[in-house]
Amino acid sequence: MLNNVVGEFLDFLKKNKKLSKNTLESYNRDINQFLNYLEEIGVEYYNVKKSTILNYLYYLKKKGKSQATVSRNLSSLKAFYHYLFMKKKIEEDPTYMIITPKVEKKPPATLTVEQVDMLLSIDFGDDEKGLRDKALIELLYATGLKVSEVISLKLEDVNLSYGYVVIRSNKERVIPIGSHAIDALKNYIEKARKAKNGENTLFLNLRGEKLTRQGCWKIIREYTDKINPGFSVTPNTLRQSFAQHMLQNGADIRAVQEMLGYQTDLNTNLLSLISKSKIKEVYNKFHPRA
């Protein structure tokens, strides 16, 4: 009976909330963990009170669970008991009026300028893979692009003569690239890039097909493990490092936001005043590898 209730709840989420498989698994795990707790204390799921929920959250904290984990568990239980109440399987929602505590966000992980220099001083090699990987990492740090943006770049989006790339998303962005990235991209395009069936995407896997997100992450992890084993470095780490190093060197925050593609109601008008030449000037003056 109980398994049926949980199964019905998960089916409801899947059909009505369009949640990912991982999110559904997280709900399932959190709820079953709570049901195991109820079994230990001899309480049926339909007899749970507000105090039961609060005691459970305290129980999780005593077990050393992080605030983020506790908050996620509460969110799962709120969704579950709201569903039970909506379906008239319980008379009162025990999670009603329990406030989910705010989770303090950690600042994004970044590399120091010295670590980036170490990373990009690695001997990548002169073969197809090495030249591609060097160009990819140089470009990610040179531009602060998202992984989705860098793997979507086409050959025509890169102008090595004038030193910029064009991002053609909701709003077109023109981002300067420095001499190190230009040299790495020239070497890759001229000596190593081998497209299959006329593939026009800039970065390709070794089969000549478009590089995937997973492929990009794997490449970065391969080389960052050489300078700092175990430290989780992602494309976003390079993106955040780009922004931090530019700002540390005195770059105008609005110009950096423009390059990253950040837009808010507060600064949209201000950002529109920054010309492409101003961005180029800021980039050349403040990027460590310009």
Cα 40 vs. chain centroid, distance in angstroms? 38
Q: Residue 91 phi/psi, 5° resolution?
A: -90, -30
| Active-site pick, 173, 207, 283, 289 | 283
| Active-site pick, 239, 254, 262, 289 | 239
Q: How far apart are CA 240 and CA 54, in angstroms?
A: 37
Tell me the helix, strand and coil percentages in the chain, rounded to 5: 60, 5, 35
Say whether 46 is catalytic.
no
Tell me if 149 sits within 8 A of 167, measured CB to CB.
yes
Say whether 27 is catalytic.
no
- Give the relative orientation of helices 235-248 and 276-286 as an angle to the nearest 10 degrees: 90
Q: How far apart are CA 279 and CA 27, in angstroms?
A: 45
Q: DSSP of 208-239, one letter per residue?
A: SSBPPHHHHHHHHHHHHHHHSTT----HHHHH
Active-site residues, by number, are: 239, 283
